A = this chain, B = another copy of it.
Amino acid sequence: MSDVLDRTAPTEAPILDVLSQRWSTRAYDSVTPIDEDALRGALEAARWSPSAYNNQPWRFIVARRGTATHEKVVATLVEFNQAWAAPAGALVVFVAETARDGREFPSAFYDLGQAAAHFTVQAHANGLYTHQLTGFDPAALAAAFSLDASLTPFSVMAVGAHGTIDDAPEFARDGETAPRVRRPIAESLLADD
């Protein structure tokens, strides 16, 4: 288990513990296999996300550490991300379905983001840590898995048990204990009437 600081978000208003305590580590336990029940629950939470017209424009590639599938995914990550993401118990690729049967899905990326959020919330409730990245080669990943042109890999999520600070690559250690920051909510409100 982790020896890092409590990283609960300093919120302006009360929110669920699972939301305030979720954060994106780069220190993964590189030994413990992924908790299969916890992973299944996170996928199930993604499944029940809302989407425009209930189109469910999401697909997933689940790649557990040690498999050939995992190697294929890792090979598409930029070097910086390989260093901290490959040790995680699994990588989950979030793939947008941008069209189906000739119909375009303009909400595909937005809805994929919703599914990813649902996944992370349940993963953290189940004791897993997550960290999403977009620093990878989507074309190479699509080719590696022979994806149809209607399927666009958009993000890769590291998922797994939390390690210790020493499990993070040296360049990533400061980020593990840095203050968690967001701009105040007031600065995000274009109108509040």
Q: Hey, which bits of chain A sit against chain B, CB under 8 A?
A: 9, 11-16, 18-20, 22, 24, 37, 40-41, 43-45, 47-50, 52, 54, 56, 58-64, 67-70, 93, 95, 106-107, 109-118, 120-122, 125, 132, 134, 145, 147, 151, 154-155, 181-183, 185, 188-193
Contacts and interface: CB of A to CB of B under 8 A. Distances in A.
B122 A60 contact: no
Contacts of A193: 62-64, 67-70
**Copies of this polypeptide in the complex:** 2
B15 A122 contact: yes
A114 B125 CA distance: 17
A190 B73 CA distance: 13
A122 B67 contact: no
Given A19-B121, A63-B193, A9 B183 contact: no
Interface hub of A47, A60, A122 (most chain B Cβ within 10 A): A47
A189 B68 CA distance: 16
Given A19-B48, A24-B50, A47-B185, A191 B69 contact: yes
A122 B58 CA distance: 23
A191 B191 CA distance: 44
Contact of A117 (B15, B20, B117): B117
A110 to B, nearest CB: 4
